[in-house]
Amino acid sequence: MSDGRRMRLAFGVPLDQFPSGPLSRTARVGLGAGLFVLGFAFYFVQGGLLNNDQFDRISRARQIARYGEFPFRDFFDPGYFMALFSSAALQRLLGDNLLGEVLLDSTCMALGGVLIFFLSRRISGSWALAFIVTVVAVLSMPHYYDYDKCLFYPLGVALCWRYVERPTLASLLALALGTVASGLFRYDSGVYIACAAAVAIAAADTGGVAPRLRQVGTFVLAVTVLALPFLLFVQLTAGISESFRQVAVYAKGEGGPYALEAPPFSFPGSAAFEPPRAPLIRWAPGVNQVTRGELEMRYGLLDGLRDGGRTWTYRMEDPLPATIRALVGDPSVEDTHFIDRQRFVLNPPAEPIRERLGRSALVRWWTVDNADTLFYFLVVALHVWSAFVLVLSYANGRPGDRNQRARLSSLVVMCLVVDVFLFRGYYQVRFGAFGPTAVLAAWALRASGPFPARSPGSADSATRRELTGGRVVGLVSLGVVIVLAVLSLSTVSNWGRSLDVISTTRTTDFATRFAELATPRDDLNGLFSYARDCTQPSDRILATWFVPELYFFSERAFAGGMVVFFGGHWSDLPDQRRIRERLMMQSVPITIIRTGSYDDFQRDYPLVDEYLRLNYRLAGETSFGNPDVRQDAYRVLVHKDRVPTRIDPRWSMPCF
């Protein structure tokens, strides 16, 4: 590559216009289709990963599909307009099930993976790097409800690059359309892509300041015109001002002031050096769960694990001879093992090296939270370093590097704004927005790592092959960073679980996957069945905590316009009055309270709580068969004006 096409910075980082691949258009389409099929299959077989956060949208969408209600007007909504209507359309088309949701999620996420692959190839010039970062991005396992981020963030980058390479009216309109579409699925996504688009327009080779300003004006006008049908619909239903207010209130309650807060590391204390598990105790036949708990507290028995039947293993908090003597002589203890009954000391078995390593401070420090914190700092370092390189490239660049700088500018800005406004200190639940960072990592590796941009036969080719001391140190440091990043990401994303699902899935298992999608969580199945069997299809249900899946699996509508009560969202007095007014007009025979979070509900929604106390009476408390909660974990309130038709024999609760 000639000097005219290479810009080398003072510290040796190239910012190159990497060559395009030799593949034909047909070959690229075929490769993209193959990658899409693989990505779709991967995400689809993971369909059981739908979590209750996603039902926050699914249940709202069901409210649209089954009851003809609209967001903002009939229920509060944070601004996921098209996400709700897309899910509602699939529910109307495919029935009251989750198949359409998983198909939508898997399709969008697979398309996002294809875009990451080709964007990485475009900016790095390396098929190998493109494949590696795409696999890593796919295995990061974003939550299914982030499917729109998986698709629209890489798509926004791709549309920015298309405009940079061809600054025509058509490419500008395509960029505006992508911005509007992403904003309709999630309001803030449109803002992030608009920021990247503004930078791409400013950095593209379109002449002086005046042409760029005209292009910016055209972009803003196009975005406004394309958004008009949505704005008109909202105005005719809820009103634009009301919808914007609901979005703003939710954003304020969800995020608070936008400030980067570095997540802390948590270091293990003395627990890292705990003795191995030793006492093996077989409790007497009459010892129940309550009695066993009291005995464990009395003798300082920690971290109990059942070893079959009535036998348990423990660690002892304070293994003094007197304590062990009392334990051995307790009539509730039928037998013990790994205890020296002559000296009354622990006599643990020889501990395998693997278990000793597992109790070491270093291994115990490697928790999911610490891995997430480390990965966050590595990604922030990548973004800051890339921005620094970009600034220097503008100061020292050559005209031939203009398009590459413009592409990198839009990519870096996209990563930075997502960092500031979305990630905000943690990545663990935000991997749906990881696409642009994966593309940036491909460029960074090619620019500074073991994949240097070389042109065979060029004058500096031999020089770049020389492994000087500084280059060896740099490559070793880069290798350590890569290893830490992969270890962190694999820990946070639980690659083992994803790969295990793949390895155990056969083609014939797809029918089973369909059935699993319609199966609710075992611990809440009793709650769902009670709500479904003991209310009429026209009734609504009110639950005072975050349990949005209740309405989907019970096949009932949520009441008061609130699918969930959490975080104080829409808890201002005017909104509480609106919730109360809706409850007065709706048929809500039962309200279900989770006792563990009821204090938060009373604090955040006092007017709604007052309405419940005045109009409902306590029917009873139950666990609804949930083995992980107390017997009084849920309170069932029934409306004072409704007369029960029967009593549910399972939970002794009234039915209507």
Q: In whole angstroms, what is the distance from residue 558 CA to residue 579 CA?
A: 11
Would you say residue 207 has pLDDT above 60?
yes
Instruction: Give me the pLDDT at residue 510, please.
Output: 58
Instruction: Give me the pLDDT at residue 579, please.
Output: 96
Q: In whole angstroms, what is the distance from residue 501 CA to residue 498 CA?
A: 5
Instruction: Give me the pLDDT at residue 276, please.
Output: 53
Higher confidence at residue 208 or residue 59? 59
Q: In whole angstroms, what is the distance from residue 215 CA to residue 3 CA?
A: 32
Residues 355-380: pLDDT tens digits?
554 455 556 677 777 887 888 888 88
pTM across the whole model: 0.79
Residues 453-466: pLDDT tens digits?
443 333 344 444 45
Higher confidence at residue 402 or residue 122? 122
Instruction: Give me the pLDDT at residue 587, please.
Output: 95
Choose the most confident range, by mean pLDDT, from 88-102, 180-194, 248-262, 426-440: 180-194
Higher confidence at residue 311 or residue 467? 311
Q: In whole angstroms, what is the distance from residue 552 CA to residue 556 CA?
A: 7
Percentage of the chain surpassing pLDDT 70? 79
Structure-token pair, residue 416 = 């930075």
Reported confidence tier of residue 470, pLDDT bands at 50, 70, 90: low
Residues 245-269: pLDDT tens digits?
998 888 777 655 444 566 677 765 5
Higher confidence at residue 368 or residue 218? 218
DSSP-derived 3-state class of residue 94: helix
Reported confidence tier of residue 14, pLDDT bands at 50, 70, 90: very low
DSSP-derived 3-state class of residue 32: helix
Q: What is the mean pLDDT of residues 314-323?
A: 82
| Of 1-10, 79-88, 342-351, minimum mean pLDDT range | 1-10
Higher confidence at residue 503 or residue 126? 126
Listing DSSP states for 528-580 in one string gives HHHHHHTS-TT-EEEESSS-THHHHHHT-EESTT-S---TTTT-SHHHHHHHH
Instruction: Give me the pLDDT at residue 151, please.
Output: 93
Structure-token pair, residue 145 = 């409800």
Reported confidence tier of residue 272, pLDDT bands at 50, 70, 90: very low
